[in-house]
Amino acid sequence: MRSGPRSLPRQIYSQQHDLTLLGLLLLDLPTIVSLLLLLGSLIPVALILTLGYLPVYFGRIVFTRAEMPLLLLAGFVVLLAGPAFLWRVNHFRRILRFTVLVPGQIRRLSITAFEFRVDYVYWFQQRAYNNHNAIRRNHRRERRASLRPGQPIISLVDKFQPEASIVLDLYTDKNHSN
């Protein structure tokens, strides 16, 4: 592995970079997918439990055999998507709260129909960490010269859990590298 810049991290405030928790969550693809799954399964569960079934017939209280798999599947999705969504919210909240600015370098970019993914390495306390960030497709960010393989980047790292990080240029509207 190539040796990277070994400067000491310095404390920053996320407000300087126009980063908000809501802004990070709206860009983050895993958060969006888990929220859509959570809402998509909570709506049928709420309708089934409150109305007896989707609002076709309001007088039913007992579930039939055909309704039980839908209820169980929706409950299972809630049990998976709910913690995933809360984990992502807590992940970004910790990064914003305990932020340290550290140098890094982009290793690889991946672009799919829905995702723009950046694989990168950064150095914190004399140790290299590999990580990736996946956001929903954003053509403006995809065209940035600062988001190319081999380019130096600035990472925001949770100083108490250095494995948790984000690429500053990926989540902000401004270029901060170099």
Say which DSSP state 57 is in: -
Say yes or no: 162 and 129 in one domain.
yes
The predicted model gives 79-98 an average pLDDT of 93
Amino acid at 18: D
Say yes or no: 72 and 107 in one domain.
no
Answer yes or no: is 63 within a domain: yes
Most distant CA pair in the chain, distance:
69
Give the pLDDT of residue 3.
47
Residue 11 vs residue 175, higher pLDDT:
175
Answer yes or no: is 2 within a domain: no
Residue tagged 């970004």 (tokens): 92
Last residue of a domain, one of 54, 72, 94: 94
Answer yes or no: is 177 within a domain: no
Last residue of a domain, one of 94, 122, 147: 94
Say whether pLDDT at 111 is over 70: yes
Query: Tens digits of per-residue pLDDT, 2-25?
Result: 444 444 444 334 455 678 888 899
Say yes or no: 86 and 103 in one domain.
no
Taking alpha carbons only, the member of 7, 13, 11 closest to residue 124 is: 7
pTM of the shown model: 0.74
Range of the domain at 70: 30-94
The predicted model gives 160-171 an average pLDDT of 93
The whole-angstrom separation of Cα 49 and Cα 129 is 46
Q: What percent of the chain has pLDDT over 70?
A: 78
